[in-house]
Structures are given as C-alpha cells and as structure tokens.
Structure 1
Amino acid sequence: MSTEKHFNLAKKEYERWGIDVEEAFERLSKIPISIHCWQGDDIGGFEVNKSDLSGGIEVTGNYPGKATTPEELRMDLEKALSLIPGKHRINLHAIYAETDGEAVDRNQIKPKHFERWVQWAKKQGVGLDFNPTLFSHEKANDGLTLAHPNPDIRKFWIDHCIASREIGEYFGRELGTPCLTNIWIPDGYKDTPSDRLTPRRRLKESLDTIFEAPIDENYNIDAVESKLFGIGSEAFVVGSHEFYLSYALKNRKLCLLDTGHFHPTEMVSNKISAMLLFNDKLALHVSRPVRWDSDHVVTFDDELREIALEIVRNDATEKVMIGLDFFDASINRVAAWTIGTRNMLKALLYALLMPHVQLKQYQENGDFTRRLALLEEFKTYPFGAIWDEYCKRNNVPIKEQWLEKVEEYEATVLSNREAKIHSDVH
C-alpha cells in the first residue's frame, strides 16, 4: 500500500474523534525547536586558548568526523536541518565565537565575533539563541563563577554575561526574531556546605547586576536555568530550582527547565502546568537523563510524550520555548541531531492528534475508566502514517530513509575529515 493510502486511512481514524490532521500539521509547522550546536563538536568551541571540558560536563565516545572548525560545524548543521521537517532555530554557546586567531577572553566577546553565524542563519532562514559559557575556563576551575567569593572573578563572569546578552540582542535585531539568552552556571560544592545562604546571596547580587544592563526585550529574552546536582557539585548547587523559580518570578525572567537537571524519578512534565499558571512563558532544554545528568539523545519515550502533551493540551505551544540539550560522541553526530529533533517533533505531533476535549471531559465527570482506556488505545493509533506524511510534505526523508543520507554524508564528508586529521598528525 502506498504512503498516501496509509495516510488517508490513518486520517480517517483520527477524524472519528473530531481531530483535524491538517490543522495539526499547520500548528506543528509553527513550533520551532532550538537545536543546540554543541552536539556537533562535543562542546569544544573555537576559542584560541581552549580549556579542557569542565563544570560537571562529560562527553563520552570518539566517533570519527567531529567538526573542528566553524565551517564544518555549520555544514553538519545544514545536513541535519535538511533531514528535519519544519523551520527551526540554532542555539549557540559563547565558546563558538569566531575571533580569527585573536585570543579574546570571554568578558571581551562582541557581536562582531558572531557575524558569520548571523550571515549563515539568514541564509538558512533560522533564528539564533545564545548561552554565556561559564565552564571550561581557568576562572571556573574551582566550580564557582557568579557565586564566587572572589569579587574579581565574579566581575569577570558578570561582564561575560552582560556581553552575552548584548550578543543575544544583536541576534534578535539582525534576524527579526527574539533571541533566548540563557544563563546556566556550574556553581556548587562536592561535599556538604557549612553555609548555603551566602553563595546564593552572591548569585542573586550577580544576576541583579547582569540584568541591570539595558537590553531591548524585543530582541533578547533572558532565562535562568536550574540544576539539582552535577559532577563536583553533588551535595549542593547554588542555582537550585527553588532559587531560580523565585528569582524568575520576582524579576520577570524566564525559568528554564532542563529535563536532565532533576532527580531521575522527578518528572519535568508535571511542573509545566503548575508553572504556566504563574509565568507568561517558560523555556525547556529537552534531554534524556540516564541515572544522572548524562544528556543522552532524546528518544520517543513516555516522558517526552508527556512533556509534549502538557504543552499542547494546555494551549501553550506559544508559551513554552523548546530547546534541546544532549551530546553523544559515541554515534554519528549528525544522526544524533536528527534523531533527537525528529523525536521532539514526533512527540508534539502525537500530542496534537489526541482527543483532548473528550479526555478532559472524562476526567471532569469522574469517568476515569474511559480516560485510561482512551489514553491507552491512542498509543497504537496509526500515528506513524501521519508523521510520514508530515515529513513528505516538508521534503525530508520518511521513516528511516534519512539514515541513508547521513551514511552518504559520512562516507563523502566526515570520513575525509577524519582522514585529514590523521594525516596532519603524522
């Protein structure tokens, strides 16, 4: 049976419940996913004086073909974008500045160091998001930055964050779509602290200083990101969920939830509806924790679907800014982007194809039997045929056919890149 016939039969199944598949396609096409650039080079960046990866971040694996230049990274992103349906965004870290061989420390970065990224984004028709990089630096070696007891070190990182917000504003103005500039810090202690309040007071004061710098909110949106623990900060993290949730509410900033930054049994999906009652907007970094914040490639699992369901059934597709944050060097990096982003989109489409009106009514009427039955039955509705049609209409490969494109790219581009690295070494 042809793909078109499969789609038409599947469409009728959903129409029985009053679900408009064409409307679902239209709504999905308007939801951009912010795709993180750092999957492509294992969070290496392009600084002249590059530091070892630190801040509780680990990337494991050594799959051949890693991007080693901005041009290679953009080329790899283009390949991934060609396999992902819809128009999306690219999320950059400060370490991806291009300084043309000049050693520019992070408190001195400027919009000019990202001009090529903006030119590329214009050609690709994508927006850009941004993050100051408060890890992998000599001034972060002891695990403290904005909460550091040394005022000079605090000022260095404050200046870096102010410069990052200016870059975010530049992105928004140039590209005509606001940039989300998100602050995450590694600050914390490996063992039980004797004073939790003082580091948190210093963090609050640092953030206050950062956000006092005038930035046009039409072009830049500020967010703060929490964490439960990290490697080297197992006992205490200064920027906890409670801290940032309170700070964001009081100061009209976005609270960003990273799905890998909570206890392994704690569901971020459960937080979304509670926070939507008190926040105009939220931001997400969608990852897949496995026992710890290991940032595995996003799969089409229960929690991903539940996150998408919470966004869709609460009419929050324009209120929740969705970004990705995973890094796996054990598999093809272009494939990692493609798998993770397509899964996020699949989950959103799955959520758009649910009979939410009926399900909500069953719950309100106390008909929990029908609610459970319907939720379970829809898990095996012919969703795959609908997804294939969406990919087809967006001129990207259906099913696993995208993998052939990645394998061709590996054979013609990535393998040659790896061979060049080895020849340069010898």
Structure 2
Amino acid sequence: MSKTTNIEAAFQLAQEQYDSLGVDVEAALDRLRSVAISIHCWQGDDVAGFEGNVGNLGNGLAVTGNYPGRARTSGELQSDLELAYSLIPGRHRLNLHALYGEFNGPVGRDEMEIEHFQNWIDWSRSQGVSLDFNPSYFSHDKAADGFTLAHSDPSIRHFWIDHGIACRKIAAAMGAAQGNPCINNFWVPDGYKDTPANRKAPRERLAASLDAIFAEPLSPSHTLDAVESKLFGIGSESYVVGSHEFYMGYAISRNKVLCLDAGHFHPTEVISDKISSTLIFVPELLLHVSRGVHWDSDHVVTYSDELQAIMLEIVRGGYLDRVHIGLDFFDASINRVAAWAIGTRNALKALLAALLEPTATLQRLERDGDYTARLALMEEQKTMPIGAVWDYYCQSADVPIGAHWLEKVRQYEADVQSKRSPGMHAQQV
C-alpha cells in the first residue's frame, strides 16, 4: 500500500470516528482552508530591517542566538518566506514592519511613502499573499529614551505622529492594491524602568497622539487600525503607558481593532479568556500568537494548552470572521525558516482541532445542565485522531506531511542560507 493510500485510509477511519460525535470533517477542512494566518516578516532577519542599523534593536526588544543564514536583503527575506509558505498548508498573509521598506538611502520614518514598499506589493501579488503592516516605534534615535508617542517633548512626539500618519497611508495603499484590508497595528514601547511620579500625563499624551494619527478617516475596505498593549518590557518594568486597560478603553471609545499579544500579559495570565469578553465591546480582534516563557520572550509557538484554548475560544464563539490571527516570535537560535514552519503549522493544527470539536453538542449539554456528559466528551475528544486529518489536509494542499518539511529546510540551508556571510546578528540580552 502506498503512502498516499495509507494517509487516505487513515483519514477515512478518522472521519468515521468524528462522524460518531456529529462532527463534519470535510466542513471543518473547508473552514480551515479559508483562514489566513498573518506570518510575521521579522522572524527571518532578527527584527533588523533594512535601515542599516543591524544589531541595534533596543527599546526593550531582544533577539538571542546567532544561527547562520539571517536574511540581509528583501530578496533574501522573500526567498526564505517563499520556502516557508511552501511548507505550510493554506494561503496566508505577510505582516511587514515599516523598517522593512526599500529606501536606497536615508529616509526619515516620518517621510516613508508607499514607493518604499512597492517591491513588497509586487512580490505579494506574484505570490498571492496579502499584506498587513506595522509602524516601527523602536530601534531609532528618537526612541532612545524609551518614549515616542507619549514623549514630553512635542517635537519628538510629532515626529512619531507623522510616522503613524505615513504608515496609515501606506497600509491603505497596500489594502487598495490587494483588494482586502491591510491591518495596521500600533505598538509603542513607551514606559519607565522605575516607579513614575505621574502615570496620568503620559497616557493623556498617548491618547492625544493616537487621535491625531487616526484623525483622517480611511476606508475600512483598505485598512483597519489596531492597537496593542503590553504589561512591561526591558527598560519599562515599572510602568508601560499603553497598558491593556488603556488600549481596551481606547479601542472601545474609538472603534478600533484591539490586539492581544499572548506574551504581553503576566505569565499567569492568558489571552484565551479575554477573547469573548473583549469581543462584546470591540468590533474585531487581532491576535499575536506567541509563547512567552517567564516573560515576553516571544518563543516559537508550540502546540500548547494555551494555543489550543485560544483556537477553541475563537471557534466556540463563532468569531473566525472577527478575529485576525497573526504570529509574533523571533528566535535566532534555530533555523529561521524552520521557526516559521513550526509556529504556523502548530497554529493551524490547533485551529483544526478546535474545528473538529463537537461544539454544538457540548454547548447543548451545557444548556441542559449535563455537566457530566460535557466533561466526558471534552476528555474523549483529546485522543481523537486529529493527526490523520492533519496529514490528509497537508497532502491535499501539496505540502510535506509530518516532519518531512524539515528535509526541505535542511537542503535550503545547505544550498542557500549557509552561503550568506555571517554579517551582524542581533544578540541582545
């Protein structure tokens, strides 16, 4: 029996088992095919960008490791991404930071224009990949003291306001070019290392700065504005201006997309429990699926209980049309293409598992007060043959099955990445 036949036979047996629980496997796969994960460009080059300041990340961000083969140009980064996409079932998006433009000389961040990203638009069109975007409020002289949009100096504050305005125009142009909204996510590092004497004033300045950035209405068919919170960072251990409560209030009052980053909360706090609460009050959510270890360390996404809980909450609440799933991790200790493949495939596996849950039955049992059956069925679900369904999905998408994708990464590393000069790798701690 051939490998293909074995996979199909296992899939048919799995279908029968799921059917016994009232789960339509083909419907789950059809829904999974419609989901586009926004894959982050910055895993491929250690958040260096193309402004010429490699190794000077700063602003509480850190990438550790010096694995060879970091992408040094947009062409190299695009080549790496093309391989990564070929290893991941489905059609997915690309999340770009502003510092990844092609500038051909010094360009102020307040002077960025769509022409600096035309190569990315052309590439994305050729690949059938849609773009998302982010202003870059870090790794810059005007952010050296840890403040940007909440800075007490009006000239610095207005520089960063102008950067945000420029990025909104770029995101809108991207969305118009690709025919669907480009999500433009705002995160700023502003905060204090030690206890502040005035928590109020910086938050007032941040709100005013954001209002100035968002003053011009832009078509929601072209771009959606998202705002992202953080609990603390290196250099802002005691106080972050843009806390969860700040951005929750801002998103509700200004009708913005709220971004929840899995690593931006207390280590004992999870974002899965926040999804249903926040979506009562905000129109849409952006998720940065990551894996914090003890702190916001942005480890490669693994198939964890929290990852599964996140996907279950999205599916159980019927939120797939209101939640945009993006990834956010950067690890320079392992092959960077492999990191993309591992993290994205895990996110999709967890989403598939959620789609294969007999949600309607579980919710009916809950309404009926039959908590015994609810718990029993939830536990039985954990050993259902999702692996056979996942393998079939990969085969139908013509991507490697199991760990065979690693062979392609190893060959690419030998043929391409190993021939890149070491250059400078980010290795801050």
Runs of 4+ in 1 over 6 A off after TM superposition: 419-422
Partner residue in 1 for 2:196: 193
Look up the SS of the partner of 2:119 in the other structure: helix
SS of 1:212's equivalent?
coil
Q: Bigger relative contact order, structure 1 or 2, given CA contacts below 8 A and separation 6+?
A: 2
In structure 2, the partner of 1:82 is 86
Report the TM-score when normalising by structure 2: 0.96
Q: Distance in 1 between matches of 2:236 and 2:424?
A: 36
**Corresponding residue for residue 122 of structure 2:** 119
- Helix, strand or coil: the match of 1:91? strand
* Equivalent in 32, 37, 52 of residue 36 of structure 2: 32
Contact persistence 2:97–2:135 (CA under 8 A): yes
1:51/1:138 contact within 8 Å kept: no
Aligned pairs, number: 421
Partner of 2:9: 5
For the residues of structure 2 that align with 1:67 and 1:342, how far apart are their CA atoms? 22
What RMSD over aligned residues (CA atoms) do the two structures have, in Å?
1.4
The CA distance in 1 between the partners of 2:357 and 2:424, in whole Å, is: 49
Aligned to 1:138: 141
Alignment partner, residue 381 of structure 1: 384
Question: Shift of the alpha carbon at 1:368?
Answer: 2.0
- Cα distance in 1, alignment partners of residues 120 and 205 from structure 2: 34
Task: State how far apart, in whole Å, the 2-side matches of 1:87 and 1:327 are.
Answer: 22
Indicate the residue corresponding to 1:174 in structure 2. 177
Corresponding residue of 1:269: 272
Percent identity for Structure 1 against Structure 2: 58
Displacement after TM superposition at 1:364 (Å): 2.0
SS of the residue corresponding to residue 321 of structure 1 reads: strand
Alignment partner for residue 46 of structure 2, among 42, 47, 52? 42
Aligned to 2:296: 293
Deviation digits for residues 155-211 of structure 1, max 9, x if unmatched? 000000000000100100111111000000000011111100000000000001000
Aligned partner letter, 1:258: D
Correspondent of 1:54 among 46, 55, 58: 58
Q: CA deviation at 1:149?
A: 0.2
Residue in 2 that maps onto 1:184? 187
1:42-78 C-alpha deviation (Å, 9 max, x unpaired): 0000014567111111100000000001100000000
- CA gap 1:330/1:51 in 2 versus in 1, 3 angstroms: closer
1:71 matched to 2:78: no
Indicate the residue corresponding to 2:109 in structure 1.
Answer: 106
Q: 1:319 maps to what in 2?
A: 322
Q: 1:92 aligns with which of 89, 96, 108?
A: 96
Equivalent of 2:24 in 7, 15, 20: 20
Is the deviation greater in 51-60 or in 376-385? 51-60
The one-character-per-residue Cα deviations of 1:221-241 (angstroms, maximum 9, x if unpaired) are 000000011111111100000
User: Aligned letter for 2:331?
Assistant: D
Measure, in 1, the Cα distance between the counterparts of 2:67 and 2:54: 21
Residues 51 and 137, structure 1, Cα contact 8 Å, conserved in 2: no
2:223 aligns with 220
Secondary structure, in 3 states, of the residue corresponding to 1:278? Answer: coil
Deviation at 1:421, TM superposition (A): 9.2
Structure 1 CA distance, aligned partners of 2:174 and 2:275? 28
Report SS of the residue matched to 1:161: helix
CA contact (8 A) 2:228 2:260 kept: yes
Q: Is the 8 A contact 1:36 1:324 kept in 2?
A: yes
In 2, the alpha carbon distance for the partners of 1:120 and 1:199 equals 40
Cα 1:54–1:11, aligned 2, differ >3 Å: closer, same or farther? Answer: same
What SS does the corresponding residue of 2:420 show, helix, strand or coil? helix
Gaps spanning 5+ residues in structure 2: where? Answer: none
Q: In the alignment, which of 308, 327, 331 is matched to residue 328 of structure 1?
A: 331
Tell me, in whole angstroms, the C-alpha distance in 2 between the residues paired with 1:419 and 1:283: 35
What is the rounded CA distance, in whole Å, between the counterparts of 1:389 and 1:88 in structure 2? 19
C-alpha displacement at 1:419, in angstroms?
Answer: 7.2
- The reply to whether residue 205 of structure 1 matches residue 208 of structure 2 is yes
Cα deviation, residue 281, structure 1: 1.1
Cα separation, partners in 2 of 1:141 and 1:51, compared to 1, 3 Å: farther
Cα distance in 2 between the residues matched to 1:239 and 1:88: 29
User: For the residues of structure 2 that align with 1:235 and 1:130, how far apart are their CA atoms?
Assistant: 29
Distance in 1 (CA, whole Å) between partners of 2:53 and 2:266 is 35
Contact 1:46–1:98 (CA under 8 A) maintained in structure 2: yes
Deviations 1:228-287 (A, max 9, x none): 111111111000000001011111111100010000111100000111222221111000
| Residue aligning to 1:309 | 312
CA contact (8 A) 2:55 2:424 kept: no
Question: Residue 355 of structure 1 corresponds to which residue in structure 2?
Answer: 358
User: Aligned letter for 1:30?
Assistant: S
